[in-house]
Structure 1
Amino acid sequence: MRRTVFALVAAALVASCSSPDGSTTASATSIVIGAGSEPENLNPVLGYAPDGAAKIFDGLVARDASLALKPALAAELPTATADGLTWTAKLRKDITFSDGTPLTADDVVFTYKSVLDKKVNSTIASRFDALTDVVAKDPATVEFTLSHAYAPFAQQLALGIVPAAKLTGQDLNSAAFNTAPVGTGPYTVESWRKGDRMVLKANEKYWGGAPAVKSVTVVFVPDDNARATRMAAGEFDGTVLPPKLAQTYRDKSGYKIVRNPSADYRGLGIPSELPFTSSPQVRRAINLGINRQAMIDAVLAGSGKPASTPISPYLKDWYDEGSSFRYDVAEAEKLLDEAGWRKGADGKRAKDGQPAKLPVLYPAPDVLRKELALATASDIAKLGIDAPVEATTFEIMLQRRKEAAAVWGGGDPYDPDTAAYTLLHSRYAGQDGYVNMTLYKNSTVDTALDTARRSLDPAARKKAYDEFQKAYAADPGWAFLVFLDHTYVLRDKWNGQETQVEPHDHGLVHAVWWNLERWTPKS
């Protein structure tokens, strides 16, 4: 199968640069992007682009290439009282939404209160557990009140601001705004054909300066192989590809391969309620029996780093290298023996007549997760564990989270709280959605995560996150595998690309085109 895909790519590379529908990607003031994922909606209140780079919206703050916070709609970085319970943001003057209406503090209040509204199905409400009130002190001043100190609160202020006048009195879960929004950002939505493409056009009155790239067409193609073939056929100006597919563009005239670091992990979520994997010894054994560096070399073509916890090495102030898992098959087998899962004459492990079995699921269109699933299952099988690999959907992965392991993705480089809290804190075990998918519970981990998010002292936070990582390594709920380097193929037609450590979400937002509004055509 892989040979067929590479043959198709190679053949298409010598073809014309016209797309299958006859269009071309020749203009440097327009760009056609092949995206691997499609947003469910475009409403920040419901969870669209909560960490900024939204293209259609701006937050109170944004991030520069180094991920440092900088003022956006706020005139200066928001400030906090000494106890961390009150935050104040002052707005820039003369900012308007793309329909010409002025931005005021009321719009900021409406946005955040809507996220907290129990009637609104916001996927990011858990980020604001500490927020108790938001008020407009005057038309240009917003005050946030927290129930307890929450150290990374400023990071959450990158959320895009929506116009209250467009949404007041509406059901935000089904509002027309969700697919045809109005924002303050550098682009507006011209059209969106769900399941196919979205077209953005430059906001010529953007407060940060009109973009030089005037038209952005985002084509949604979840299948990696299909994106590779369509990129090679000349349909796209840029796309994200697994590293090995991207390498087909090495030394190809007019193209460049961009490899960006990320805090985006791929990991095997291990069900804590499955009898076989309910023991910390078994989960540690699985972690020790996985050859992560071999995966990076073979599956990622060297484009990544080993992972042991959801805290990325790029979170340098917080990452604890001592909590990583070495590759140690002998120790893994010893732990399995001690847990009572012993090998029979056939080399398969069992306990009290129950076979050691751990199905490994992955989402079918994702080539990279498939290869990681196969490599992981192969390593686990060498320990005497039956690990059948199954292609499925994210919905089925969630439904079977008590009985099967699954290859999940996530992570961000902004703060360890957002990378780890909802993923591993027991308060989220059993909740719907993509939180604590393994139903993991560990009181020491809970205490460390709670202490870290509530402490305003960096030294105390560092100590708490060290304790969290050590406690987690002793009782892991996952086998985190790798942190990816995101690889892109891009036509070499623009200046202005800047490297930024990327999060898991890298469709239209935090990808190589995170600052697309600042790109300029090459002369």
Structure 2
Amino acid sequence: MIRIRPTVRRLAAVAAAGGLLALASCSSSTTPGALAAGDTFVVATAGEPDTLNPVLNYGVDGASLIFDGLVARDAQNRLVPGLAAELPTVSADGRTVTAKLRDGVVFHDGTALTAADVVFTYRTVLDPKVDSTLRSDLEMLESVEAPDPDTVVFRLRYAYAPFLQRLALGIVPARALSGQDVDRAEFNRRPVGTGPYQMESWTPGDRLVLTANDRYFDGRPTNRRLVVAFVADDNIRAQRMRAGEFDVAELAPKLAAGFDGRAGYRVERVPTADYRGVMLPMGNPVTADPAIRRALNLAVDRAAMVAGVLGGAGEPAYGPVPPTSEYAEPAVTGKPTADPVAATALLDAAGWRAGAGGIRARDGRPARFTLMYPASDSLRKELALAVTADAKKVGIEITPEGLTWDAIDPRLNSDALIMGYGTPYDPDFVSYKLFGSRFAGQGYFNPGHYKSTVVDQALQQGRDQSDPAQRKAAYSTFQKQLAADVPWVYLSYLQHTYVLRDSIDGVVPRVEPHEHDVANSLWWNINTWTRR
């Protein structure tokens, strides 16, 4: 069974690291002017990856710092050439895509990149013996060939409009993984790529240390070393930022707000397609009831959550396609404030009657369930508490419970969970697996076992069609059916909040997806950052 979490796995120890503090101290002592040789940036994030192999789901949308794809994304998330000399060409029928490689690109070990490496990467994802969660992302791919060392040809089973976006996948060297058990290869922890940084060391639960790749095809990095500190607990991460250990730290909105106006720091609030919501499992007789789900959707006060829990760093959410997307369906939006009158009427009509303590029941079953959240995530905890308070007002009793991911895993089909996902790229990404019936119960792909023939058909049509109008109609149907069934109660789209030393220049925020740890974070272009 595929196991993937709504954020990357948190391996997670939070003990202070003396060596890391020493690195940070060196970094902060740099004199004004040009960046000193050997300078180090230290960034802190909550999430730690399970692997550093793109084939196994590391940095698949680009900006991984270690690898490059055939294409990359600029500051506006537009596709630009990466390892390809120019954007790949698409045939008139949409089923043949041809990429020409840049000249002179080498891997970190000095070996030349060739089309054979690209072919190997994509064939490995498609290999059923490899436990790649990306295989279903490439269902449209029939074959990939290298007619010569500089050319790659992808042949598709059907036209797939966003295929070029799938070419952001990092390319691995064939010689390093050929003939190996890819799932257990040493490469997964000591990778070799073509990116601006190369591997120095990885201490699980503590840090990843990367050094500059001076042969990087897009220019030598302006800083010599990068340390990514893994600190799962939000409050500890904030404390260590205040102590001067980090140059940049991702923080929950309220914690980041504590640095506003603080000398030596600045706060970046980055727009995202990253949503939070309550996943309601169909294996629980209370949360499986449509009346409970719809009433809870009416009862939550999204405006209050954005103002209070997020400190204004976000906006109300009603579905998985962000409002900024051309595919967003306006008809699915609701009221940002709670409507307890409508929620109460809906429950009354469904036979959920108020009983002792105001908690509703039907046929002897109380309207009661558990809402899980990862204990180290202060934002999800606050959202869980807010949902609990709103639900109580309409007679639904929720018990919030903070757990480790390992404790959450076996309870996904019986207990609700504060989850997060989201992508600014194409609606096919994420939603196809998250709501498709055939993915039900595959870890965090459709963990609540939601099944809808209408949704399945719409999602399939969305990826099968190349015509923009037909795709938009398919995703409109998908969003409307999801809003009617309420397998999730969407709460908010976040702004990702980061605290930085105010001496850092070159920071370019761009709209971020849900996952933003080592890859796709504010430091996506850190190889060009400098200090004053």
- Normalising by the residue count of structure 2, what TM-score does the alignment of the two structures yield? 0.92
Greater mean alpha carbon deviation, residues 276-285 or residues 43-52: 276-285
Within-5 A mapping of 1:102-501:
102-315=112-325, 317-326=326-335, 327-344=338-355, 346-431=357-442, 433-501=443-511
Superimposed CA distance per residue, residues 245-271 of structure 1 (whole angstroms, 9 cap, x where no aligned partner): 111211122211000001111111001
**1:64 paired to 2:78:** no
Question: What secondary structure sits across from 1:229 in the alignment?
Answer: helix
Question: What secondary structure sits across from 2:268 in the alignment?
Answer: strand
Superimposed CA distance per residue, residues 470-491 of structure 1 (whole angstroms, 9 cap, x where no aligned partner): 1111111101111110000001
Question: What secondary structure sits across from 1:200 in the alignment?
Answer: strand
The answer to whether the 8 Å contact 2:24/2:40 transfers is no
Inter-partner Cα distance in structure 2 for 1:283 and 1:65: 38
Inter-partner Cα distance in structure 1 for 2:412 and 2:52: 29
How far is the alpha carbon of 1:345 from its aligned partner?
Answer: 5.0
The answer to whether the 8 Å contact 2:277/2:492 transfers is yes
Superimposed CA distance per residue, residues 348-395 of structure 1 (whole angstroms, 9 cap, x where no aligned partner): 111111111121100111111100111111111211111011111223
Inter-partner Cα distance in structure 1 for 2:148 and 2:162: 25
Inter-partner Cα distance in structure 1 for 2:21 and 2:150: 48
The answer to whether the 8 Å contact 1:95/1:207 transfers is yes
Structure 1 counterpart of 2:439, one-letter code? Y
Superimposed CA distance per residue, residues 151-190 of structure 1 (whole angstroms, 9 cap, x where no aligned partner): 2211111000000011111111111111111111000011
Inter-partner Cα distance in structure 2 for 1:478 and 1:201: 42
The answer to whether the 8 Å contact 1:287/1:325 transfers is no
How far is the alpha carbon of 1:519 from its aligned partner?
Answer: 1.6
Question: What secondary structure sits across from 2:524 in the alignment?
Answer: coil
How far is the alpha carbon of 1:21 from its aligned partner?
Answer: 8.8
Inter-partner Cα distance in structure 1 for 2:93 and 2:408: 42
How far is the alpha carbon of 1:423 from its aligned partner?
Answer: 0.7
Inter-partner Cα distance in structure 2 for 1:123 and 1:392: 25
Inter-partner Cα distance in structure 2 for 1:375 and 1:235: 33
Structure 1 counterpart of 2:519, one-letter code? V
Inter-partner Cα distance in structure 2 for 1:496 and 1:132: 41
**1:48 paired to 2:58:** yes
Question: What secondary structure sits across from 1:205 in the alignment?
Answer: coil
Question: What secondary structure sits across from 2:491 in the alignment?
Answer: strand
Are residues 121 and 288 of structure 1, via their aligned partners in 2, closer, same or farther at CA, if it must alter by over 3 Å?
Answer: same
Structure 1 counterpart of 2:238, one-letter code? A
Structure 2 counterpart of 1:389, one-letter code? P
Q: Share of identical aligned residues, percent? A: 51
Output the aligned Cα RMSD. Answer: 1.5
Structure 2 counterpart of 1:390, one-letter code? E
Are residues 109 and 245 of structure 1, via their aligned partners in 2, closer, same or farther at CA, if it must alter by over 3 Å?
Answer: same
Superimposed CA distance per residue, residues 225-247 of structure 1 (whole angstroms, 9 cap, x where no aligned partner): 11011111111111001111111
Q: Who is 2:27 aligned against?
A: 25
Superimposed CA distance per residue, residues 302-361 of structure 1 (whole angstroms, 9 cap, x where no aligned partner): 00011111111122x011222023232111112212222121253111111111112110
Unmatched 5+ stretches in structure 2: 1-19
Superimposed CA distance per residue, residues 276-297 of structure 1 (whole angstroms, 9 cap, x where no aligned partner): 2223232111111110110010
Structure 2 counterpart of 1:320, one-letter code? E
How far is the alpha carbon of 1:20 from its aligned partner?
Answer: 7.6
Structure 2 counterpart of 1:325, one-letter code? G
The answer to whether the 8 Å contact 2:66/2:192 transfers is yes
The answer to whether the 8 Å contact 2:24/2:245 transfers is no
Greater mean alpha carbon deviation, residues 98-107 or residues 76-85: 76-85
Structure 1 counterpart of 2:344, one-letter code? E
Superimposed CA distance per residue, residues 30-70 of structure 1 (whole angstroms, 9 cap, x where no aligned partner): 21111111111111111110000010110000000111100
Superimposed CA distance per residue, residues 403-460 of structure 1 (whole angstroms, 9 cap, x where no aligned partner): 21000111110011113111111111122x2201111111111111111111111111
Question: What secondary structure sits across from 1:300 in the alignment?
Answer: coil
How far is the alpha carbon of 1:22 from its aligned partner?
Answer: 8.7
Inter-partner Cα distance in structure 1 for 2:365 and 2:24: 59
Superimposed CA distance per residue, residues 80-132 of structure 1 (whole angstroms, 9 cap, x where no aligned partner): 22222221111111111111111111000000111111111112222112222
Inter-partner Cα distance in structure 1 for 2:486 and 2:90: 36
Q: Who is 2:100 aligned against?
A: 90
